[in-house]
Structure 1
Amino acid sequence: MTPTLHPRLLNGRAGDPAVFVEALHASGAVLFDCGDLSTLSPRHLLRVEALCVSHAHMDHWADADRLLRPLVGREKTLAVVGPDGFAAKLHHRLASYTWNLVDRIPLDLVLEVTEVRAAPPFPRTRLRLQTGFVPEALSPLPPDPDGVVLQLGALRLRAAPLDHGTPSLGFALEEAVHLNVWRTRLTERGLPTGPWLAALKQAVADGLPDDHPIPIFARAAEAASAPVQPLGALRNLVAATQGQRIAYLTDFADTPANRATATALAARADTLFIEAPFLAADAAIAAERMHLTTTAAGAIAREAGARRVEPFHLSPRYLGREAEWIAEIEAAFGRGLGPPD
C-alpha cells in the first residue's frame, strides 16, 4: 500500500515539538504544534491548511508567527484547533501587532478557531486580517458521532483534552478509507500516472456517478486540454483498504483517565508520535511535572496497538543517553522503533 500521509518530526527527538504532515497528491498540509518551525521553508508554510496546537506552553507554539507571517497578503483560510480558551490567546497574540494598514491589502487571511473541550459543542471563532483580527463568534461545532472536529478533504481530525495541569489536546489524523491505485492496471491500459489520479480517488471516495467525467493528464499544465473518460470506466483502477492513521500525543500526566483518552486516540495508529521526556528511574519527576516516562509512553503505544512509535520531547538532562532512552521505550512497547522520521 502506498501511504497517503507522510509525517515529519521537525526538530528531532529532543527539539521543540512540531510535526508536519503532507498528504500524497494534496496541496495542503497539517501542522501539529509549532514550537520551532525554522526547518520549514516559506513554500511549506504556505501549504499548511490546519494548525493543531496541543496547548499554549511556549515550547509548543512559540513559532506561530513564523507560520502566520507569509500568509499575510494572501487569500487564505487557516483552520486552527486548540484547547479551551485558545481563540482568546491567539487574538491577544495578534493584537500585539499594529494592523492600521490592512485596508490596503485586498486579500484576506481568515483564521477559524475551534476550541476542543471535554464535551461538545465546541466554541468556534473567526479572526480576519481585514478587521484587524477582531474575534467574531461562529456557530459552535455540534457533536459528531465519530468524534471528528475537522474535515480536510478525505482526511478527518479527532481531538480530545488530556490533563497537563492545563488542558493539552491529543490528536488523531486519519483517512476515512485508503484508496490505492493499481499501477499494473494503469500500465495495462496505457494510462499515465500524474495529478489526475487524485481527482479519480476523490470521485470514488465521494461516490460520484459512473458518468462523472475524469480528465486524464500527466502534468498539471495539460489539464485544460486533457482527454476525458467516465468514472465508471476507471473505478477498477482504485482499491479501497483501511485508512491510514497518525496520532500525536504530548504533555500529559500518567493517570488512568489520561491513558484511556490517549489509547483511544492512538488506537491502531500507523504512526504514533508520543512524548517520553523522562527515564523510568525519574518517574517521580515525571509525575510532579505531569509528563510521561519512557515506560508509560511505550505501554500506551502497546495498549493502543500502534504499528510504529516515534517518541519525542526528550528531556535535555538525558542528552548523550539516547540509546538508554530508546531501549526503555522499546522494552515497554514490545518491539523496536526503527529510524526516526
Structure 2
Amino acid sequence: MRPSFHPRLMNGPFGDPGLFVPFVFDKRAFLFDIGDIQSLDGRDVLKISHIFVSHTHIDHFIGFDRLLRICLGRDKTVHIYGPAGIHRNVEGKLAGYTWNLVQNYENRFVLNVSEVTPSRIHTQTYHCRDRFLLKSPPRTVPFSGKLLAEPSLSVSSEILDHDIPCLGFALTERFHVNIMKDRLTALGLPVGPWIGLFKKALFEGRSPAMEIAVPLGKDSEIRRYPLGELSADIARITPGQKIAYVTDAADTPANREKIRRLALDADQLFIESAFLAEDREMAERKHHLTAHRAGALAGEAGARQFTLFHFSPRYTGREQVLIDEATAAYHTAVRSEASRRP
C-alpha cells in the first residue's frame, strides 16, 4: 500500500515541535504545531490548508509569522485550530503589524481560526483585505471530539492538561484506495486527474451506477465506466492510515486515558519525551511526559510505530538513552496487552 500521508517532523528532537503532513495525491498539507518552520520552503508552506496548534507556548507557535509572510497576497484560506485563547493569540500577532496597504491586494487571503473548548468550537474569520479586523461575531458549533470531517479523512482531538489546556490530535483516513497499475495497463487506461475524481466518488459514497469519464488521450476520446465496475476492476480498498500527535502533557491518569484513546491503533504516533524516568520529578514540575511513559502509552494504545520528539536540552548527546528507555517500555506494554487478550 502506498500511503496517502508522509508525515515528518520539521526539526530534530531538540528543536521546536511541528509535524508536517503532505498529501501524496494532492497539493495539500496539514501542520500540527507551528514552531520553527524554516525547514519548509515556500512551496511547502503554501500547501498547508489546516494548522492544528496544541498550545501557544513560543516553541509551538513562533512560525505563525513566517506563514503569514509567505501567504500574504495569495488567494488562500488557512484554517487554524487551537485551545482556549487562540483568538487572542492570533489577534496579538496580527496587531503587531501595520496593514494600511492590504486593500490593494487583488487576491483574497483569509484566516479561519477555531478555538476549542470542552463543549464548543468558536470560529472567527480574519480577512486580509479588511486589515484582519473582525466584521462579524464568531460562529459556534458543539464539540464532541472531532474538529474536521471530510469525505476521506477526519481530525479528532483531546484536551490535555499541561497546566494549561493543550490539544492532542489524531488524523484518520476513512479507508485507502489502492490503484492497481497493472489493471490500468491491461484496460489501456492512462494515469491522470480522473483518478482523483474516481477516488472522491468512492469516499463520497456515490452510486455504483455513477459514470466515471476516463480521457484516453487519443483524439480526445473518452471512455465511460460505472463507478462500481471500475472499482472492482482497478482498485483495492484497505484500511486507512491513522497518525496521532501528542505533546506537552502532564503524566496524570486523565491525560494517560485521553492519550491512549487518541492513539488507539495508530499507524504512527508522534509523542513527546521531554525527560528520562530518573528525572520524573522534574517532568512532573514541568508537566511533561518521560520517555518511559511515552513508550508505555504507545504500547498500551497499540500504536504500530512511534517517534519521540521534544527532548529537553539537558540530554544533548544522549538521544539514544531516551529512545532505548521508551522502546523498552513499549515492548513491555505490548506484551502485557497481548497477555490480557483471550
TM-score by length of 2: 0.91
Distance 1:224 1:125 in 2: 49
- The answer to whether residue 254 in structure 2 is matched with residue 251 in structure 1 is no
Q: CA deviation at 1:161?
A: 1.1
Name stretches of at least 5 consecutive residues in structure 1 with no aligned partner: 336-341
* 1:267 corresponds to which of 261, 264, 269: 264
* Change in CA separation of 1:332 and 1:138 when aligned onto 2, cut-off 3 Å: same
1:338 is matched with none
1:229 is matched with 224
Amino acid at match of 2:3: P
Q: CA deviation at 1:121?
A: 2.2
- % identity of equivalent residues: 43
2:47 is matched with 47
Amino acid at match of 1:202: K
* Change in CA separation of 1:226 and 1:128 when aligned onto 2, cut-off 3 Å: farther
Q: CA deviation at 1:321?
A: 0.9
* 2:306 corresponds to which of 295, 309, 331: 309
Comparing 83-92 with 149-158, greater Cα deviation is found at 149-158
Q: Is the 8 Å Cα contact of residues 151 and 203 (structure 2) preserved in structure 1? A: no
Q: Is the 8 Å Cα contact of residues 276 and 292 (structure 1) preserved in structure 2? A: yes
Name the SS for the 2:132 alignment partner.
coil
Distance 1:260 1:296 in 2: 12
Name the SS for the 2:324 alignment partner.
helix
Name the SS for the 1:137 alignment partner.
coil
Q: Is the 8 Å Cα contact of residues 215 and 226 (structure 1) preserved in structure 2? A: no
- The answer to whether residue 281 in structure 2 is matched with residue 284 in structure 1 is yes
Q: CA deviation at 1:323?
A: 1.5
Distance 2:223 2:169 in 1: 39
Name the SS for the 1:113 alignment partner.
strand
Q: CA deviation at 1:203?
A: 0.9
Amino acid at match of 1:49: S
* Change in CA separation of 1:223 and 1:156 when aligned onto 2, cut-off 3 Å: farther
Distance 2:208 2:124 in 1: 40
Distance 2:102 2:151 in 1: 31
Name stretches of at least 5 consecutive residues in structure 2 with no aligned partner: 333-342
For these two proteins, the number of residue pairs brought into alignment is 329
* 1:189 corresponds to which of 180, 187, 190: 187
* 1:295 corresponds to which of 292, 304, 312: 292
Q: CA deviation at 1:153?
A: 5.2
2:111 is matched with 111
1:331 is matched with 328
Distance 1:210 1:317 in 2: 58
- The answer to whether residue 196 in structure 2 is matched with residue 198 in structure 1 is yes
TM-score by length of 1: 0.91
Q: Is the 8 Å Cα contact of residues 195 and 217 (structure 1) preserved in structure 2? A: no
